[in-house]
Structure 1
């Protein structure tokens, strides 16, 4: 694999509103007895509807930000500094990079907790967390309840087989160590 193909990132297409949430979409409560299947439904929907989720999260985030912009700005700057420091540390220290690669979930949760602590000290936790938590809750709820259609399954097969181009959500999920399970594609 050459260097150019490793950096070849494609933004996933914006799915129609009809497909995403209106007429064509089908919703069903997941089988809570089969956690692996439910988790895989979430991952596959995150990959398929990623542009819709990003746009929805942005709209919700902006609505919350309009209500209290300075607290949101403080929270964004704080989290940006925490994640920037994490990125800088992993780029310049082989031990940190190795730990991040071996334990991505621990590193991400540690960064979130450190950021939360600093935001708590600033005093803008409720606004920032509401601005972040509400979009995340919408995305998790939608991806949990949305049944996959034929196009979704075909796109997921292409992603699992590695023939699809890398997408922002795919990169984000891989950073957390999450990949779709081909066993639950059908």
Structure 2
């Protein structure tokens, strides 16, 4: 299985170092020295991480074979992709890789099917689960323990306990209508 773990940004200095926008919860594992990464576009790689460090709050990496600033600038915008064993699990008990969640059935506490989990959206403060309902519409579910109390990988389902109005607009609490009608 392939996972996007970063995006190459601008070059830093003259020795071929680049800043990398991290897109993984495990940068020390996926982007550490010795890691071999596929690339998109594929013509840029594969790339092997030679060294890395945090500089001014951002990850700075040097890849083997990238010898100068010109080589580094040519990689700008390249996506970094790691090969991951589909059976690999995160270290923490309540953590999941996106590929483990995609395709799960999403059900209410009483077992009512809501839809299929089709995407995990990573935002700075909270992750959201995109659920595609049987009619093709999508709903975003905050991925927090109060709303998603159970992820059952064995039975391929995510159990949710959504507040009123999150799933169906008919359940939404009336707040007085739009500002223009007040």
TM-score range, shorter chain: under 0.3
TM-score (norm 2): 0.25
RCO higher in 1 or 2 (8 Å CA, sep ≥ 6)?
Answer: 1
Q: TM-score, normalised by structure 1?
A: 0.24
Higher strand share: 2
Q: Which has the higher helix share?
A: 1
* Rg larger for: 2
